[in-house]
């Protein structure tokens, strides 16, 4: 054992001795809380239900609601006699049990919350002072969804600072040494509480808004001799927080002020680089600053989020890795003590003992750094540290119960986590020797697939071409670009610059592998700046349409007989090319259709996914499969392509939808004529380039830009077109549907139509919903990409109980949105597509004004471009035009209803059935809505937009579509004709024993 490990063990054992001298349970409060925690640690299902119940309780106003939820969450009798008795009692005397329960959960929350407000908290702080424990105070609050919320927060911080400064004027340093490094008043600030529109892609905007809100607080802190710490939150905000810190404390006014600190999270893989960078920054600045080192409070969130988005996970996967990194960073901090004051935020005695031992080795006086621990937890450790002569500060959250819930739930999770130190020590009595082990010895060698979002699928080979897998489940989506990285931001900026240089270029038609130029050119304009022409598309007329059909028909013979493996490879090559050209293609979308950065990237990602997913699906469908195993007879079910496919795509997902329909056609062995929307010709031309580079044979994919009313109508009616794949408006969709039903002379096949149309999507907000979440997601669903997604929210249905609470936050949230040119990184609402759309939406707004109440309309809009102000109408009734007709713009109708019955009636009382959503924390209501909401895609407690290929097969019914699901396992079947070939294999009573499950393809005959 090394000398350092020896010393750590010696010190750790001493802390354990002191801790055990005053035995105390894990948490300072005993009784119900202890028992609930013990049960949670034993039973994972109970833990989930308990946390969910704790989360919803503060929003329930009546005893009957509380009892109702209690029943729903704990109806399963497996939850032990203690809870069972409580529920039975509650059923008998609800008016008593409701308040008692609320009181008990309040008690739980108060275990971790030091006071309701600044007056309340001061009592706690005084008590701690007598125990020689300092404080840092943090303000709890609900998620900030508007600038009104953020301003209120900033004012509360200032008020808290004033009161604390006044009340603690005469307090002295508990150690009486080096007190100039550790002001008595210490405030912890969360930057996400101060600006509602932080976008990781745009740190400069965040800093521009945050700095003015912070300066008055910092100024005042400096005047009253207080300390301000920037807490660290989720990874998405990390770079912005660091950048903000470095920017503001380099300003003339603050550059000599030493009482600023920031948090570094050791669970992050890039934390060492960040800390080194901060230290270097501090040395250049020349003034001392502070760092609180923690492991990090968002481990579950970060791993889930990165798994969902296919991102490299920013946190370590093994707990000892975080512990070991904490020690590395501890050493780095203490070695640089001349410029940075260290605070160690941990309850882990090994981590604490290591810091003590290393400080000792460096000869640092214990009064020159501090240990910070959370209020309400690990009391004996705090006491032990004080007794050993160390500086201890407690992190004291202040706030109301409701806003405090998120914090409470995080603490509950942490304290009952399997891997946590506190649980091991206080609940499981793991030995001191075990708990003091060197974490580097506990790190297991990396195993592919463990915890690695990418690893698991490939490690077990499931993501291969095996035929019998539940393929959507193992399909691995292309990751979204993570714009939190500077590198991604720079690449996007670079792509925008490059694409701008190509403005005005001309793009040909592609027919039978030849580039075809026509006399007529259609300009495609930038909707943010209509005098800018992004590019010109050659305009096809009837002769070109005829040529395209001929080319496609000629190519069909060979392509339909090309093995599916080859066709699948073509799609995979196209996907790889789009991956390579990802930023460029996104930039084209920003200019041509006004997509914000992340929406444009989402579109390219979807196109890539369509290609790879359909390639995988084709492999599953391609080989003829035995229907039943019966002796003496083989029957193989298999598919043939239909023929010539005409793809008509919209502009709102200009590459993804075009690519989805065209790639499905191509991979199934059909030949395709693709017509992009007139408003997104350049995007269409880009997709054609991608397929050409991927090696699509002549005539298999033809690119025909032109007017829908001319070539569209001609090709829909054409006898040689066998299949039409359309996504667009209801008006055009219905015409196509009807027209395709007519059989023309010489027509060989019944035309198949895939018809995806619009929506009038509803979101219901239940009376117990999390209002912050419901508002945040509703705003995004209604106004993201200017409301121009067919999945966008247009009817927000609020239960009357919750109406005021939601509206109070909805309007300010809409008023805080960033509307502008989406070339800027953090814009959420850009221009609508063109002048016609602009006029039509404005007309609808006039209709709305005459029918309902205009509750909100944005004012400051860019002077040029097709910008429509985000608009909200209230007092909307189900029969009004704005509640029935698709507007396809940033206009939201709010409908108030009595109860969930009426909400469902209103939601379902629409011609459309595309997407629908529900916000609720009632398990019973959630189940009911899952079953009864009429929509092709039902989303619970999340936005109703953003379907992901394979994960959320997308498409609606009623007047929203013919019931197909893009990105689903059954989508390709729409492009295929099923066949079954049966052979009697018996000869004179003798039948072969073995019949293979799959056989080679029955390729269609040569045409
Ligand atoms: C005073 C104070 C201030 C704080 N401020 C912040 C802050 O600003 N931002 C913030 O994010 N957190 C903050 N925290 C919370 C802190 O991050 C957690 O309390 C802390 O992570 C618990 O660590 P520990 O050393 O006490 O316990 P331990 O039990 O030793 O560590 C638990 C931690 O290990 C990490 N972990 C768990 N499982 C794994 C795994 N499988 N792989 C890798 N790592 C894993 C997680 O970070 C987890 O929280 C603060 C804590 C304190 C005490």
Three-state secondary structure string covering 125-192 = HHHHHHCCCEEEEEECCCCCCCHHHHHHHHHHHHHHHHHHHHHCCCCCCCCCCCHHHCCCCEEEECHH
C-alpha of residue 421 to centroid of ligand 1, in Å: 10
Which residue, chain included where needed, has tokens 């119940």? 53
Q: Which H or E run includes 917?
A: strand 915-919
Q: Is the pLDDT of residue 449 over 50?
A: no
SS3 650: coil
Tens digit of pLDDT for each residue in 839-889? 999 999 999 999 999 999 999 899 999 999 999 999 999 999 999 999 999
Counting from 1 in the atom list of ligand 1, the atom nearest the Cα of 372 is: 1
Best of 133, 191, 295 to mutate for ligand 1, by most ligand atoms within 8 A of CB?
295
Mean pLDDT, all residues of the chain: 92
Average pLDDT over residues 474-488: 94
pLDDT at 39 over 80: no
Pocket test for ligand 1, best of 264, 294, 298, 304 (most atoms within 8 A of CB): 294
Q: HEC profile for 498-537? A: HHHHCCCEEECEEECCEEECCCCEEEEEECCEEEEEEEEE
pLDDT digits (tens, 9 = 90+) for 760-800: 999 999 999 999 999 999 999 999 999 999 999 999 999 99
How confident is the model at residue 117, as a pLDDT? 87
Mean pLDDT along residues 385-403: 92
Band of pLDDT at residue 450, cut at 50, 70 and 90: very low
Here the contacts of 820-824 (C-beta below 8 Å, separation 24 or greater) are 820/862, 820/867, 821/528, 821/529, 821/862, 821/865, 822/528, 822/590, 822/594, 822/595, 822/596, 822/597, 822/600, 823/496, 823/528, 823/590, 823/591, 824/202, 824/205
How confident is the model over 182-197, as a mean pLDDT? 97
**How far, in Å, is the centroid of ligand 1 from the Cα of 448?**
25
* Buried b / exposed e along 799-826 (16+ C-beta atoms within 10 A): beebbebbbebbbbbbbbbbbbbbbbbb
Q: Which whole-number Å values give the CA distances from 223 to 137, 186, 217, 259, 260, in the listed order?
A: 18, 13, 10, 11, 13
Query: Is the confidence at residue 471, as pLDDT, over 70?
Result: no
| Planar angle of CA 948, 952, 958, nearest 5 degrees | 120
Check pLDDT > 50 for residue 460: no
pLDDT tens, position by position, 133-183: 999 999 998 789 999 999 999 999 999 999 999 999 999 999 999 999 999
Is 790 in the active site? yes
CA 103 to ligand 1 centroid distance, Å: 29
* Res 280: pLDDT: 98
pTM (two decimals): 0.93
CA end-to-end span of the chain: 80
**Do residues 228 and 190 lie in contact, with contact meaning Cβ atoms separated by under 8 Å?**
no
**Tally of CB atoms within 10 A around 737:** 17
Hey, which of 345, 374, 408, 425 would you mutate to test ligand 1's pocket, going by the most ligand atoms within 8 Å of its Cβ?
345
Question: With b meaning 16 or more CB within 10 Å and e meaning fewer, what string describes 885-912?
Answer: bbbbbbbbbbbbbeebebbbebbeebeb
Q: Write down the pLDDT at residue 343.
A: 98
Helix H segments across 531-672?
542-560, 564-580, 582-593, 597-622, 656-667
Q: Please report, rounded to a whole number, the percentage of residues in the chain having pLDDT higher than 90.
A: 81
- Spatial separation of the C-alpha atoms in residues 227 and 221, rounded to whole Å: 6
Contact 758, 960 (CB under 8 A): yes
Residues with CB under 6 A from ligand 1: 231-232, 263, 265, 267, 292, 294-299, 315-319, 321-323, 345-348, 351, 372-374, 395, 414, 419-421
Which ligand 1 atom is the nearest neighbour of the CA of 422? 29
Strand (E) or helix (H) holding 324: helix 319-335
Contact call for residues 682 and 654 (beta carbons, < 8 A): no
Q: Residue 91 — very low, low, confident or very high, per pLDDT cuts 50/70/90?
A: low
**DSSP code for 587:** H
pLDDT tens, 928-974? 999 999 999 999 999 999 999 999 999 999 999 999 999 999 999 99
Atom of ligand 1 nearest to the CA of 317: 42
Q: How would residue 393 be classed by pLDDT, with cut points 50, 70 and 90?
A: very high
Instruction: Give CA–CA dist 917/939, Å, rounded.
Output: 5
Predicted pLDDT at 520:
95
pLDDT category at 96 given cuts 50, 70, 90 is low
Q: What is the pLDDT of residue 458?
A: 36
**Per mean pLDDT, which of 55-64, 471-480, 626-635, 686-695 is the most reliable?**
686-695
Nearest atom, ligand 1, residue 229 CA: 8
Say how far residue 883 (Cα) sits from the centre of its chain: 28
Sorting pLDDT into bands at 50, 70 and 90, what band is 455?
very low
What's the pLDDT at 73?
A: 87
**In this predicted structure, which of 405-409, 465-469, 502-506, 690-694 has the lowest mean pLDDT?**
465-469
Q: How far apart are CA 455 and CA 468, in angstroms?
A: 21
The Å distance, Cα 297 to ligand 1 centre, comes to 5
> What is the 241 CA–ligand 1 centroid distance (Å)?
18
Token readout for 374 is 């959370």
Q: If you average pLDDT over residues 213-236, what whole number do you get?
A: 97
pLDDT of residue 384: 96
CA–centroid distance, residue 956 to ligand 1 (Å): 44
Taking the CA of residue 374 as reference, the ligand 1 atom at the shortest distance is 53
pLDDT in tens, 506-545: 999 999 999 999 999 999 999 999 999 999 999 999 999 9
**Kind of pairing between the strands at 793-799 and 761-765:** parallel
Q: From the candidates 544, 756, 823, 969, which is the catalytic residue?
A: 756
Q: Which atom of ligand 1 is nearest to the CA of 298?
A: 11
Q: Environment class of residue 328 by beta-carbon count within 10 Å: exposed (0-12), middle (13-18) or buried (19+)?
A: middle
Q: Which of 666, 660, 615, 611 shows the shortest CA–CA distance to 478?
A: 611
| Whether residue 396 lies in the annotated active site | no
Q: What is the mean pLDDT of residues 623-631?
A: 94
Cα dist from 584 to 600, 606, 830, 933, whole Å: 10, 15, 19, 40
By C-alpha distance, which of 857, 878, 877, 879 is closest to 868? 857
- pLDDT over 50 at 464, yes or no: no
CB 603 within 8 A of CB 589: yes
Q: What per-residue confidence (pLDDT) applies to 28?
A: 52
- Name which residue sits closest to atom 2 of ligand 1, judged by CA: 345
Q: How far is the CA of 772 from the centre of ligand 1 (A)?
A: 25
């Amino acid at each position: 054992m090394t000398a350092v490990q020896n010393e750590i063990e010696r010190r750790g054992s001493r802390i354990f001795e002191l801790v055990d001298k005053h035995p105390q349970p894990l948490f300072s409060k005993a009784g119900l809380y202890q028992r609930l925690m013990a049960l949670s640690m034993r039973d994972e299902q109970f833990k989930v239900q308990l946390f969910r119940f704790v989360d919803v309780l503060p929003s329930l106003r009546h005893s009957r609601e509380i009892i109702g939820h209690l029943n729903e969450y704990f109806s399963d009798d497996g939850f032990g006699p203690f809870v069972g008795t409580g529920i039975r009692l509650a059923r008998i005397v609800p008016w008593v049990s409701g308040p008692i329960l609320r009181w008990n959960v309040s008690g739980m929350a108060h275990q971790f919350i030091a006071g309701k407000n600044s007056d309340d908290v001061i009592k706690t702080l005084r008590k701690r002072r007598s125990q020689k424990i300092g404080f840092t105070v943090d303000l709890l609050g609900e998620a900030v969804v508007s600038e009104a919320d953020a301003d209120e927060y900033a004012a509360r911080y200032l008020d808290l600072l004033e009161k604390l400064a006044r009340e603690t004027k005469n307090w002295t340093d508990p150690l009486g040494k080096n007190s100039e490094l550790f002001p008595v008043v210490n405030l912890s600030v969360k930057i996400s509480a101060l600006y509602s529109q932080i976008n990781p892609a745009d740190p400069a905007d965040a800093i521009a808004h945050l700095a003015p809100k912070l300066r008055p607080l910092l100024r005042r802190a400096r005047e009253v001799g207080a300390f301000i710490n920037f807490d660290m939150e989720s990874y998405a905000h990390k770079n912005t927080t660091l950048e903000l810190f470095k920017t503001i404390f380099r300003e003339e006014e603050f550059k000599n002020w030493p009482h600023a600190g920031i948090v570094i999270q050791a669970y992050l893989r890039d934390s060492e680089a960040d800390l080194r960078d901060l230290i270097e920054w501090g040395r250049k600045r020349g003034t001392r600053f502070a760092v609180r080192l923690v492991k990090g409070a968002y481990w579950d969130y970060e791993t889930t989020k990165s798994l969902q988005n296919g991102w490299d996970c920013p946190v370590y996967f093994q707990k000892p890795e975080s512990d070991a990194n904490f020690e590395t960073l501890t050493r780095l901090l203490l070695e640089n003590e001349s410029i940075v004051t260290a605070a160690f935020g941990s309850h882990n005695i090994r981590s604490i003992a290591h810091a003590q031992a290393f400080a000792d080795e460096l000869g640092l006086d214990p009064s020159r750094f501090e240990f910070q621990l959370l209020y309400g937890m690990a009391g004996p450790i705090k006491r032990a540290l004080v007794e050993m002569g160390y500086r201890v500060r407690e992190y004291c959250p202040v706030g109301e119960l409701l806003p405090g819930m998120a914090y409470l739930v995080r603490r509950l999770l942490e304290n009952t986590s399997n891997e946590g130190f506190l649980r091991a020590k206080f609940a499981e009595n793991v030995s001191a020797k075990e708990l003091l082990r060197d974490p580097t010895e506990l790190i297991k060698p990396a195993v592919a697939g463990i915890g690695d979002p990418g690893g698991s699928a490939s490690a077990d080979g499931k993501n291969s071409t095996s035929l019998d897998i539940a393929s959507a489940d193992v399909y691995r989506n292309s990751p979204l670009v993570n714009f939190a990285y500077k590198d991604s931001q720079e690449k996007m900026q670079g792509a925008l610059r490059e694409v701008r240089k190509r403005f005005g270029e001309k793009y040909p038609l592609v027919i039978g592998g030849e580039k075809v130029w026509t006399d007529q050119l259609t300009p495609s304009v930038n909707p943010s700046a209509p005098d800018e022409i992004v590019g010109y598309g050659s305009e096809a007329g009837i002769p070109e349409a005829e040529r395209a059909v001929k080319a496609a028909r000629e190519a069909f013979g060979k392509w339909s007989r090309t093995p599916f493996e080859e066709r699948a490879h073509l799609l995979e090559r196209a996907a790889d090319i789009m991956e390579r050209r990802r930023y460029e293609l996104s930039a084209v979308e920003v200019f041509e259709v006004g997509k914000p950065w992340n929406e444009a990237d989402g579109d390219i990602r979807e196109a890539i996914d369509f290609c790879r997913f359909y390639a995988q699906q084709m492999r599953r469908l391609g080989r003829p499969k035995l229907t039943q195993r019966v002796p003496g007879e083989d029957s193989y079910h298999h598919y043939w392509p239909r023929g010539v496919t005409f793809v008509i795509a919209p502009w709102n997902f200009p590459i993804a939808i075009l690519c989805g329909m065209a790639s499905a056609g191509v991979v199934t062995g059909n030949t395709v004529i693709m017509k992009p929307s007139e408003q997104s010709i350049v995007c269409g031309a880009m997709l054609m380039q991608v397929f050409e580079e991927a090696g699509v044979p002549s005539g298999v994919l033809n690119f025909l830009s032109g007017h829908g009313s001319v070539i569209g109508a001609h090709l829909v009616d054409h006898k040689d077109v066998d299949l039409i794949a359309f996504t667009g408006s209801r008006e055009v969709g219905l015409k196509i549907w009807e027209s395709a039903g007519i059989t023309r002379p010489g027509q060989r096949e019944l035309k198949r139509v895939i018809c995806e149309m619009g929506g009038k999507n509803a979101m219901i907000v239940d009376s117990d919903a999390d209002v912050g979440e419901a508002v945040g997601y509703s705003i995004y669903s209604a106004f993201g990409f200017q409301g121009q997604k067919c999945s966008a929210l247009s009817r927000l249905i609020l239960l009357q109980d919750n109406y005021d609470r939601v509206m109070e936050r909805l309007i300010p949230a809409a008023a805080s949105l960033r509307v502008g040119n989406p070339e800027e990184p953090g814009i959420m609402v850009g221009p609508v597509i063109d002048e016609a759309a602009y006029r039509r939406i404005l007309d609808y707004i006039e209709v709305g004004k005459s029918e309902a109440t205009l509750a909100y309309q944005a004012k400051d809009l860019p002077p040029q471009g097709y910008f429509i102000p985000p608009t909200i109408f209230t007092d909307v009734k189900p029969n009004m035009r704005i509640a029935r007709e698709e507007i396809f713009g940033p206009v939201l109708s709010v409908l108030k209803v009595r109860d969930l019955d009426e909400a469902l009636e209103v939601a379902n009382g629409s011609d459309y059935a595309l997407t629908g959503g529900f916000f609720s924390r009632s398990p019973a209501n959630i189940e009911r809505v899952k079953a009864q909401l009429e929509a092709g895609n039902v989303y619970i407690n999340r936005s109703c937009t953003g379907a992901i290929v394979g994960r959320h097969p997308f498409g609606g019914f009623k007047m929203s579509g013919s019931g197909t699901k893009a990105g689903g396992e059954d989508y390709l079947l729409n492009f295929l004709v099923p066949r079954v070939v049966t052979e009697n294999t018996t000869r004179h009573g003798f039948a072969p024993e073995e019949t293979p499950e799959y056989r080679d393809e029955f390729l269609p005959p040569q045409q």
